[in-house]
């Protein structure tokens, strides 16, 4: 370990006098799986929002009929803005674990409510369908709700065990 410290000093961080030195590798092994899931979901929704704008442009901002993403999910520019907001929130909240859990609750509540809303407006040409929702979107919203619950409720025991293993090393 001393050889690594001398060869790669930038990978070491002294947090406070008297505290143990940790490497970047040690810090990443203590990330909870819920945090990684929040990061992946955040990055995915950010990417989907950006790709969505490449498909829809900015016309028909809240039109009930939009363009298809991957041939399945109907989107319009407002829908893209929502995807970007959700994705950027995930990128901002993935660490520490408490903030990742908050993101999980927000994801579950937001997509759970959007699923319920979609039950009434999906595939309709009514102005109430301002996000251009279809049945493919509704199924994705169920999946996103479950992913949010997984982030919010994943047992913290695994993170504590990882910290204990790292401290013993």
Specify the range with the lowest mean pLDDT, choosing from 50-54, 63-67, 98-102: 63-67
CA pair distance 91, 9, nearest whole angstrom: 28
Q: How confident is the model at residue 8 (pLDDT cuts 50, 70, 90)?
A: very low
Q: What is the 3-state secondary structure (H, E, C) of 98-128?
A: HHHHHHHHHHHHHHHHHHHHHHHHCCCCCCC
CA pair distance 144, 124, nearest whole angstrom: 22
- Every domain of the chain and the residues it spans: 33-155
Q: Which residue has the higher pLDDT, 68 or 138?
A: 138
Q: What is the pLDDT of residue 104?
A: 96
Average pLDDT across the chain, whole number: 83
**pLDDT tens by residue, 13-34:** 445 555 554 555 445 558 899 9
Tokens of 41: 């979901």
Highest-confidence segment of 4-13, 37-46, 153-162: 37-46
Tokens of 11: 């990978």
**pLDDT tens by residue, 99-126:** 999 999 999 999 999 999 999 999 899 9
Q: What is the pLDDT of residue 114?
A: 96
Q: CB within 8 A of 2, min separation 6: which ones?
A: none
CA pair distance 87, 130, nearest whole angstrom: 20
Model confidence at 60: pLDDT above 90: no
Q: What whole-number percentage of the chain has pLDDT above 70?
A: 75
**Beta-bridge mates of residue 123:** none
Q: What is the pLDDT of residue 143?
A: 96
Model confidence at 57: pLDDT above 50: yes
Q: Are 144 and 118 in contact (CB under 8 A)?
A: no
Q: Are 12 and 23 in contact (CB under 8 A)?
A: yes
């Amino acid at each position: 370990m001393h050889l690594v410290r001398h060869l790669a000093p930038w990978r070491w961080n002294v947090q406070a006098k008297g505290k143990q030195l940790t490497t970047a590798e040690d810090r990443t092994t203590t990330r909870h799986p819920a945090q990684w899931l929040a990061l992946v979901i955040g990055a995915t929704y950010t990417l989907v929002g950006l790709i969505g704008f490449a498909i829809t442009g900015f016309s028909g901002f809240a039109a009930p009929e939009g363009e298809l993403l991957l041939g399945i999910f109907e989107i319009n520019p407002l829908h893209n803005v929502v995807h970007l907001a959700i994705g950027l929130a995930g990128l901002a909240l993935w660490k520490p674990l408490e903030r990742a859990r908050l993101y999980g609750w927000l994801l579950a509540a937001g997509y759970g409510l959007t699923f319920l809303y979609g039950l009434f407006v999906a595939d309709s040409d009514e102005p109430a369908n301002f996000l251009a929702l279809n049945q493919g979107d509704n199924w994705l919203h169920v999946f996103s709700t479950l992913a949010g619950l997984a982030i919010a409720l994943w047992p913290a025991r695994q993170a504590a065990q990882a910290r204990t293993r790292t401290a013993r090393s």
